[in-house]
Chain A
């Protein structure tokens, strides 16, 4: 018994390596590509399809030509370089028509204005997109400033001109550097203060794009100042509702009756301003961005109001909201655009004729607001009833409850839907070509393809326009994913 030594292993056995078929790349391939007969077939079909596309597209892309003045010249260059029968992309069309794609028929000597407006737009967006985040705000403002200044330098080199003996381009660059430098400093020192610039931006952007007398935008801004002043004066005695009403009425009186006289008088005393640009000179991506960004910014508040109206206890408000939303969702956007171009002249007072771009923006805003209202209504419906009751229990009034408790949660839930509405809106800006505006797709590309030197070109302009739209829409959807992650408060 004593000699029968029992064997007890003192140390663990070394784990054996898994068989070759169960590890590394082989395992991955077996699991992900050839796990069953059907999967193997799908893999092979997919690979063959991808190979065929790449085989056709790669030489075409590699044989790209950037420097040429016509399609024929492009083809000659490709034939000379890569032999007879070789195919290649002719990106020279993008290079040659670059300014037309970006600005349409905007006057060349004023290109710095839309460029500046575009740069400032991102500065104004920074505090909205990354609220109170000093680091990101500073980085974004700084990068945008540098890019804008570089673009302005490029423009001043491409179109040199002098005004009164001074290099105009250099002047624009200097002014831009000062303004953007100041804004970057604000973003760095007090990121939340940048919001004041955001509030001011619509007037700044409008003035930069259309130009004209400086008193017009200032007069419009003064209307808002009138609203705030009247509201603050009357709020104490009459309460929030009547105060707001009085403010709105006062502002409306200012805008409709007083403003034009005051600004006219000011303009005759002090004629400050820059060259005016007509709306029909707008085109290309400038137009897509003007319509898209304005309509996006305006349709969100309108959509919120419509969604609240649709869930209101007041039958009349509810009926009006439902009627508006369902009517707009039932007709195609094109009919709305044609309403803007053909019918509005019947509905507005005789001899009132305002800008086609503005009319289009208003109707696109209505259109998008109806869709956003439905998305937000979904978010409101998803909130548990207890949230509303808790707000009531705290003694909050309707607007306080909406602002502090309901909307922050409902909007958070509806972010993906809202952003996909925005993406849809931005893509739909291409439709304005059908009412005669020069959008990048139909308006500009059609003109380019009709030009004698670019006749017969089709892949390159469409790929170029498509890529820019893809970049904008894709980054919007990625931003919405970031925002969802940032605002996520559950399942931590």
Chain B
């Protein structure tokens, strides 16, 4: 310390602001701050001037005006008399539903492909390599458009399903059939799937102008209760196993707890299915799923699945070979080794890239606009923007929504990540 104290104390000179590392960082930051503020002021000034030149203002009241356009797929009630704000939410829900099912499907595909790519089976490993490389190296947009074009151009027209009296008399069959026990009609206009229908529904209540189906809510509640009871059951079984070494049989109890109440409730409510039927020139009844939804979902799941497969493969390869050998030495079979020893450890490596793949998938749903899928980009950033001419407001609002969405997904997955992390002492 004596050396520091005895160092000659230099008087402050202006040039020290540049040459002395103690002060230089302040100089740089102040210069950058000024440049940044000047840049912001320049942008703001330009925006104000441009808006004035076009005689526009920044105003979000268009969200409460009549939208005047139709949206095919709507998860909340919407007509063309609804407001632009409601169209925004219809679009947002359309984005979310593709993202939700896409994440689930892509994870299933990805985990299977990643594990199988490492399997000792030569044929399967090669096929999976082919799948991963093909999907990873070709743009997602191509897969989406190709799926859509194939669905809508190769599927049979509704009239191909028609059975006329002459055909019955001649013993001929129509050129197209409904699939899956005669329940799903896959035509070039879309896919009609059966709709669940209740004889004695519990009715619905309106919250913020959105009807909430009480029957559905009851079913969900029963499932949640069943899962909670099942969790208690398994916890008890584990406690007994740890105490006595013998695990009580639980599988039939789990089945009863999980399924019987729901089935009883559905029976009491009088569930039956409304099967789509050919009436006139198209299929009536059931739920009509547009090809744009199916194509987008399938393409995006297969594409992201290839990336998840790579993440899974990298995660498994990151676990040292000794773990597998130790598990084999304990007498575990390959399947159980994978499930009980490798995957739980690999999961910690896999989750961070998985998070970014989920985020990518959610953001990639915007590509649905190439096949006119009306998601958030299609409603708020597409038709609403074009109708109202409010580019600035629509784009900023849309970016903000996507940002919030990304942040929610990222933080949710980060919680999961922390929970799965190795608890080190």
Give chain A's interface residues, CB within 8 Å of chain B. Answer: 31-33, 35-36, 38-39, 42-43, 46-47, 49-50, 239, 241-242, 313-317, 320, 327, 329-335, 338-339, 342-343, 345-350, 423, 427-428, 430-431, 433-434, 441-442, 456, 458, 462, 465-466, 469-470, 473-474, 477
Contacts and interface: CB of A to CB of B under 8 A. Distances in A.
A462 B145 contact: yes
Contacts of A335: 366, 377, 381, 395, 398-399, 402
A86 B142 CA distance: 27
B145 A442 contact: yes
Contacts of A350: 46, 49-50, 53
Contacts of B335: 38
Given A342-B391, A442-B145, A427 B140 contact: yes
B138 A470 contact: yes
A430 B141 contact: yes
B122 interface: yes
B123 A314 contact: no
Interface stretch (B27-35, B174-182, B217-225, B278-286): B27-35
Interface stretch (B82-90, B129-137, B193-201): B129-137
Interface residues of B, number: 59
B120 A39 contact: yes
A474 B120 contact: no
Contact of A348 (B28, B46, B138, B141): B46
B324 interface: no
A345 B49 CA distance: 11
Given A47-B123, A442-B145, 19 more contacts: A39-B119, A42-B116, A43-B121, A50-B123, A314-B25, A316-B33, A317-B32, A332-B402, A335-B366, A342-B391, A343-B395, A345-B50, A347-B47, A348-B46, A350-B46, A350-B49, A350-B53, A430-B142, A462-B146
Given A33-B121, A334-B369, A441 B137 contact: no
A343 B392 contact: yes
Contacts of B367: 334, 431
A356 B229 CA distance: 60
Nearest to A309: B32
Nearest to B369: A434
B317 interface: no
B153 A456 contact: yes
A241 B15 CA distance: 12
Contacts of B124: 42-43, 46
B16 interface: no
B142 A465 contact: yes
Nearest to B42: A349
Which one of A32, A331, A434 has the greatest number of beta carbons of chain B within 10 Å? A331
A244 B106 CA distance: 49
Nearest to A343: B395
Interface of B: 18-19, 24-25, 28-29, 32-33, 36, 43, 46-47, 49-51, 53, 116, 119-124, 127, 133-134, 136-142, 145-146, 149-150, 153, 334-335, 359, 363-364, 366-367, 369-370, 377, 381, 385, 391-392, 395, 398-399, 402-403, 406-407
A239 B370 CA distance: 54
B402 A317 contact: no
A431 B127 contact: no
A477 B153 CA distance: 34
B141 A239 contact: no
A345 B24 CA distance: 37
Which one of A47, A313, A315, A350 has the greatest number of beta carbons of chain B within 10 Å? A350
25 contacts: A42-B116, A49-B127, A239-B19, A314-B25, A320-B36, A327-B403, A329-B359, A332-B377, A334-B369, A335-B377, A335-B398, A342-B385, A343-B395, A346-B46, A346-B391, A348-B46, A350-B53, A430-B141, A431-B367, A441-B139, A442-B145, A442-B370, A469-B142, A470-B138, A473-B136
A46 B395 contact: no
A330 B363 CA distance: 8
B29 A470 contact: no
B306 to A, nearest CB: 12
B403 A330 contact: yes
Contacts of A38: 335
A339 B395 contact: yes
A169 to B, nearest CB: 34
Which one of A39, A346, A347, A441 has the greatest number of beta carbons of chain B within 10 Å? A346
Given A329-B406, A423-B137, A338 B395 contact: yes
Contact of A338 (B137, B149, B381, B406): B381
B120 A342 contact: no
Nearest to A334: B366
A458 B146 contact: yes
A49 B122 CA distance: 15
Which one of B53, B119, B139, B407 has the greatest number of beta carbons of chain A within 10 Å? B139
Given A332-B377, A347-B43, A473-B136, A434 B370 contact: yes
Given A330-B407, A332-B364, A469 B47 contact: no
Contacts of A39: 119-121
Which one of A332, A333, A349 has the greatest number of beta carbons of chain B within 10 Å? A332
Contacts of A441: 139, 141-142, 145
A320 B39 CA distance: 13
Contacts of A434: 369-370
Contact of A316 (B29, B121, B133, B402): B29
A334 B50 CA distance: 23
Nearest to B33: A316
A170 B407 CA distance: 59
Contacts of B134: 470
A334 B377 contact: yes
B381 A331 contact: no
Contacts of A334: 366-367, 369, 377
A239 B121 CA distance: 64
A38 B145 CA distance: 36
Given A42-B121, A350-B46, A474 B133 contact: yes
Contact of B406 (A316, A330, A423, A470): A330
Contacts of B43: 347
Nearest to A327: B403
Nearest to B150: A458
B49 A330 contact: no
Contacts of A33: 121-123
A392 B191 CA distance: 66
